[in-house]
């Protein structure tokens, strides 16, 4: 079983500041023991299907647990484009991520200091190896050009317009086989049209309620999709496509604006059996 995911130990996770709408009125309200339990249950669910490498926590950086934001691993290479975080509250994570990946023998790529980029939270590969890049909230106007210097795959920019869905992985989830989940209200008209053009009938619109449940912030391992919570409607829709939803309750982490996908960084290629 090859290593495919990176997670970070949840000790030290907390909400100590507000840098997104989900954090409002949540400072000091994380139940640490419950968060650790939820993380461990999720880890156990995932590890039944794939190998996971665990980074150590750093209490000084409570959002380090959201490893999706560490950077963007390049397909087929032992290289990762490191993140340049927008907010000072997360900028110290970069040195920790660099040290950990370099210890494993990875080459770490730095982007220009003027480029804001928050890793696989805002950059998602689909089943056709296209890269979809979130823009407008956490990534800036330099991001697409900077990323394109290190990757040959086609890159498509998607404009995010709802501050609640500040990273692309909170409102968009490409799936094996060419389909994708998305929350239409999170994107501008041009981005919705672009997604419809490329995904066609495989584009599955989430309802606003499903968006707030973080149904798009999901991890797909072959035909199993892990998400915080799911509606019966969505279960039936994905069952029709051959997928099975497995719920992984992560309410404590949603207080910081993250869920299943945010807690994982994929080092492997999307697969479908």
Question: pLDDT of 177-234, one tens digit each?
Answer: 999 999 999 999 999 999 999 999 999 999 999 999 999 999 999 899 999 999 999 9
Tens digit of each residue's pLDDT (9 = 90 or more) over 29-56 = 999 999 999 999 999 999 999 999 999 9
pTM as predicted = 0.96
DSSP bridge pairs for 124 = 132
Tens digit of each residue's pLDDT (9 = 90 or more) over 126-167 = 999 999 999 999 999 899 999 999 999 999 999 999 999 999
How deeply is 273 buried, as exposed, middle or buried, from its count of CB atoms within 10 A (0-12, 13-18, 19+)?
exposed
Q: Six-digit token pair at 159? A: 């404009």
Residue 3 pLDDT: 52
Q: Is 156 a catalytic residue?
A: no
Residue 268 pLDDT: 76
Going by C-beta distance under 8 Å and a sequence separation of 6 or more, which residues neighbour residue 127? 174, 175, 176, 177, 178, 270, 272
Q: How confident is the model at residue 2 (pLDDT cuts 50, 70, 90)?
A: low
Residue with tokens 């709408």: 21
Q: Is 150 a catalytic residue?
A: no
Residue 222 pLDDT: 86
Residue 129 pLDDT: 93
Contact between 142 and 122 under an 8 Å Cβ cutoff? The reply is no
The pLDDT of 88-98, averaged and rounded, is 98
| Catalytic-labelled residue, pool 8, 215, 220, 262 | 262
pLDDT exceeds cutoff 90 at 58: yes
| Catalytic-labelled residue, pool 29, 108, 167, 220 | 167
Going by C-beta distance under 8 Å and a sequence separation of 6 or more, which residues neighbour residue 71? 80, 81, 82, 83, 97, 101, 108, 119, 120, 265
């Amino acid at each position: 079983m090859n290593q495919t995911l990176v997670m970070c130990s949840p000790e030290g996770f907390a909400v100590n500041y507000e840098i997104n709408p989900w954090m409002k009125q949540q400072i000091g309200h994380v139940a640490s023991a419950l968060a650790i339990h939820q993380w461990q249950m999720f880890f156990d669910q995932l590890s039944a299907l794939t190998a996971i490498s665990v980074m150590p926590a750093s209490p000084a950086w409570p959002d380090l647990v959201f490893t999706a934001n560490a950077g963007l691993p390049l397909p087929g290479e032992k290289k990762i484009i490191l993140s340049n975080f927008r907010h000072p509250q997360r900028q110290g994570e970069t040195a920790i991520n660099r040290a950990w990946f370099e210890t494993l023998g990875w080459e770490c790529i730095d982007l220009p200091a003027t480029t804001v980029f928050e890793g696989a939270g805002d950059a998602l590969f689909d089943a056709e190896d296209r890269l979809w890049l979130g823009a407008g909230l956490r990534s800036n106007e330099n991001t697409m050009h900077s990323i394109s210097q290190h990757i040959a795959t086609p890159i498509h920019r998607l404009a995010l317009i709802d501050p609640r869905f500040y990273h692309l992985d909170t409102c968009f989830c490409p799936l094996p086989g060419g389909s994708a989940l998305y929350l239409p209200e999170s994107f501008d008209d041009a981005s919705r049209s672009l997604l419809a053009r490329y995904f066609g009938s495989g584009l599955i619109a989430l309802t606003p309620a499903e968006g707030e449940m973080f149904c798009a912030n999901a991890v797909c391992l072959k035909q199993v999709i892990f998400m915080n919570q799911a509606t019966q409607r969505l279960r039936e829709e994905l069952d029709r496509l051959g997928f099975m939803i497995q719920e992984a309750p992560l309410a404590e982490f949603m207080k910081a604006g993250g869920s299943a996908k945010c807690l994982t960084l994929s080092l492997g290629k999307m697969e479908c059996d």
